[in-house]
Structure 1
Amino acid sequence: MTKRPSTLADVARRAGTSTAVVSYVINNGPRPVAAATRERVLAAAAELGYRPNRIARALRSRTTGVVGLVLADASNPYFGALARHVEQALERHDRLTLVGNAGYSPERQGHLVERFLAAQVDGLIIVSSDTAGDAAAPTGVPAVYVHHGPADGHAPVVAADNRAAVRQAVAHLREHGHRSVAFLAGPHDGGPVGVRREAWEAAVGGDPGSVLLRSDYSRAAADVLTRRLISEGALPRALIAATDEQAIGVLSGAWACGLPVPDRLALISLDGTPESAYTAPALTVTEQPLQAMAEQAVDLLLSLDGRAEPPAAALVPRRSCGCSE
């Protein structure tokens, strides 16, 4: 026979107090409760295995305590790390995170937003890579974009200072003696990668040796590109990769062809995901401030703070650029 879940009234009887007092303890208010009574209520709740009914609480407060998080691609370590920081920031405010994976599809992103709204989430955080439209158009539910959002969107966008990050990367490679610095972009110039490419063009100032390369945002595509460039004798001596996934593919292709990094190719990546420290050689990166971005997005969503400046991406020198670790 299935045991009936304990209720607020059960806890009140065990603690020898009223259900109102139990509610004040469980919900941390709105009225104060004496320390001894509070301890008695918490002990009774633990003994009975009581868990607050989130649905009942939602009906009373007209809020669910749930925030919908839409990820551009859950399999990409960059977005996975960002999602972890968003979830931790929401947890500190006693919010539950409901996660959906758009798989780089604007249509899927819009579908997830509709599903989350149907589930009556209290807010939306959309970690977007390339938005075809404003998935967070006015719905009466607060929303924030992270990493990227539509230029004419209704919700605020939290992103790192990508232009400053690129300028740092170019300057650092020039400190190593590289006049020409190539850039590996994606198949098109949408989203933050487009901003990074524009910043690179401005930083290299039309230098003819600073060539623009393109590949899909995958290790496999960048590996294939690198092998082809090596076979053609066209691989640059200094390269900035727009993403860690591409940079890891470049390292793979170079290793397969016996080309030494950094002796023949100096490489910097612009993401700085945790695993970038464990490649061979370790990647020099401009580390995206994922925790700061997540916390700023949650503060904006919950109206805890005003709009802040874009967080800076710090340069982390490692072996791939020619620095000694």
Structure 2
Amino acid sequence: MSTSASRPVTLADVARRAGTSTAVVSYVINDGPRPVAAATRERVLAAAAELGYRPNRIARALRSRVTGVVGLVLADALNPYFGALARYVEQGLAGHGRLMLMGNAGYCAERQRQLVERFLAAQVDGLLITSADAGDDTAAMARAAGVPAVYLHNGPASGQTPVVAADNEHAVEEAVAHLRAHGHHDVAFLAGPHDLGPVGRRRESWQAAAGAGGTLLRSGYSRAEADALIRRLAATDAVPRALIAATDEQAIGVLSGASAAGLPVPDGVAVVSLDGTPDSAHTAPSLTVTGQPLESMARQAVDLLFDPTGPVTAPHAPLIVRRSCGCET
């Protein structure tokens, strides 16, 4: 039921229906600042429900200077890795009674900076930034505005803003050791077009673990580009027998390219991927991955927004064994 089709229900409408004052209705809706008798509270809530009253979030924000909204700057909304990370961030914020407002940077540093500026102009309560290359410390704008911020997945190597990321070093070491246990001495690595961000650190960890026996390959971060790379290598019989892909998107492209070239996985090329997105369990064959601890990363980053003194740790990325490496699971 509503008071009119032409205007929203107000506190005054609820007060009239409940037979009390607008101040009392405000105390009930906002949980304070003054206590309300239980019977009166129930009467107000019943009237609000009957009239379909919805609190005006903007008006409340102007009064309290708290919007109840946190901005998430996502490196690439089309990448399932970041999509899964955003879902866990949203769940974590809900536990703190906050809504998530998301913006897609599309791997563009300038777009990332613009999003941070717009979120700050919208007076968000906090910012989470999944920076792709971490070239600029865009969170510095939030610090200057007095808005808490946390980098998630990647951030500048130096700076005052906490960065929550997985323990990629040990994850890569485990992946190399696992492929060697399958008898592969030479373990190749498929990196991105450059060595910025987490992929660069994963590449460095691979180089330290594989030594001089591994081949470094590069492609863009899309399935299509990795697919094309494997097809080109297969044409000259140059596909490595064991390969670690920096991302699941690349790994899925490797599977596609190998299939098109008639190269069996894992017998022709054994594959391990370093993301562990939900898609990785449903490829053919299923991908062995180092599962990025997305849920614990998101939870830690969200908690740091509300308690900056909390610990910053690098959660373990465990090896999840499936068929693409040569295991019969």
TM over 0.5: yes
User: Following the alignment from structure 1 to structure 2, what is the Cα–Cα distance between the partners of residues 62 and 323?
Assistant: 56
User: Following the alignment from structure 2 to structure 1, what is the Cα–Cα distance between the partners of residues 312 and 36?
Assistant: 37
User: Following the alignment from structure 1 to structure 2, what is the Cα–Cα distance between the partners of residues 308 and 24?
Assistant: 38
Deviation at 1:9, TM superposition (A): 2.4
Task: Write the letter of the residue equivalent to 2:95.
Answer: R
Per-residue CA deviation, residues 30-53 of structure 1 (Å, 9 max, x unaligned), is 445454443333222111111111
Task: Write the letter of the residue equivalent to 1:320.
Answer: S
Task: Write the letter of the residue equivalent to 1:281.
Answer: P
Return the match for 2:318 from 311, 314, 318: 314
Q: Does 1:108 align with 2:108?
A: no
Q: Does 1:13 align with 2:16?
A: yes
SS in 1 for 2:49: helix
Corresponding residue for residue 173 of structure 1: 179
Deviation at 1:11, TM superposition (A): 1.8
TM (norm. structure 1) is: 0.95
Aligned partners of 2:162 and 2:312 also within 8 Å: no
Deviation at 1:24, TM superposition (A): 3.3
Corresponding residue for residue 167 of structure 2: 161
Return the match for 2:83 from 80, 83, 89: 80
Q: Kindly tell me: are residues 164 and 100 of structure 1, through their superposed partners in 2, closer, same or farther at Cα, counting changes over 3 Å?
A: same
User: Following the alignment from structure 1 to structure 2, what is the Cα–Cα distance between the partners of residues 279 and 42?
Assistant: 51
Matches within 5 A, 1:229-244: 229-244=233-248
Deviation at 1:78, TM superposition (A): 0.6
Q: Kindly tell me: are residues 14 and 277 of structure 1, through their superposed partners in 2, closer, same or farther at Cα, counting changes over 3 Å?
A: same
SS in 2 for 1:320: coil
Q: Kindly tell me: are residues 279 and 9 of structure 1, through their superposed partners in 2, closer, same or farther at Cα, counting changes over 3 Å?
A: same
- Per mean C-alpha deviation after superposition, the further-off stretch among 98-107 and 4-13 is 4-13
Matches within 5 A, 1:1-325: 2-137=5-140, 138-139=143-144, 140-207=146-213, 210-303=214-307, 306-325=310-329
Aligned partners of 1:8 and 1:22 also within 8 Å: yes
- Per mean C-alpha deviation after superposition, the further-off stretch among 241-250 and 8-17 is 8-17
User: Following the alignment from structure 1 to structure 2, what is the Cα–Cα distance between the partners of residues 302 and 268?
Assistant: 36
TM (norm. structure 2) is: 0.94
User: Following the alignment from structure 2 to structure 1, what is the Cα–Cα distance between the partners of residues 249 and 72?
Assistant: 22
Deviation at 1:179, TM superposition (A): 1.6
User: Following the alignment from structure 2 to structure 1, what is the Cα–Cα distance between the partners of residues 162 and 104?
Assistant: 21
Deviation at 1:107, TM superposition (A): 0.6
Unaligned residue ranges in structure 2 (runs of 5+): none
Per-residue CA deviation, residues 147-169 of structure 1 (Å, 9 max, x unaligned), is 11111233111101111111111
Deviation at 1:273, TM superposition (A): 0.7
Task: Write the letter of the residue equivalent to 1:298.
Answer: V
User: Following the alignment from structure 2 to structure 1, what is the Cα–Cα distance between the partners of residues 209 and 246?
Assistant: 15
SS in 1 for 2:170: helix
Q: Kindly tell me: are residues 19 and 245 of structure 1, through their superposed partners in 2, closer, same or farther at Cα, counting changes over 3 Å?
A: same
Task: Write the letter of the residue equivalent to 1:58.
Answer: A
Aligned partners of 1:299 and 1:305 also within 8 Å: no
Aligned partners of 1:136 and 1:153 also within 8 Å: no
CA RMSD in angstroms, aligned pairs only: 1.6
Deviation at 1:232, TM superposition (A): 1.2
Q: Kindly tell me: are residues 244 and 17 of structure 1, through their superposed partners in 2, closer, same or farther at Cα, counting changes over 3 Å?
A: same
Per-residue CA deviation, residues 78-115 of structure 1 (Å, 9 max, x unaligned), is 11111111111112212121111111100111011111
SS in 1 for 2:132: coil
SS in 2 for 1:129: coil
SS in 2 for 1:252: helix
How many residue pairs are counted as aligned between the two chains?
Answer: 323
Aligned partners of 1:145 and 1:297 also within 8 Å: yes
User: Following the alignment from structure 1 to structure 2, what is the Cα–Cα distance between the partners of residues 175 and 160?
Assistant: 24
User: Following the alignment from structure 2 to structure 1, what is the Cα–Cα distance between the partners of residues 318 and 17?
Assistant: 55
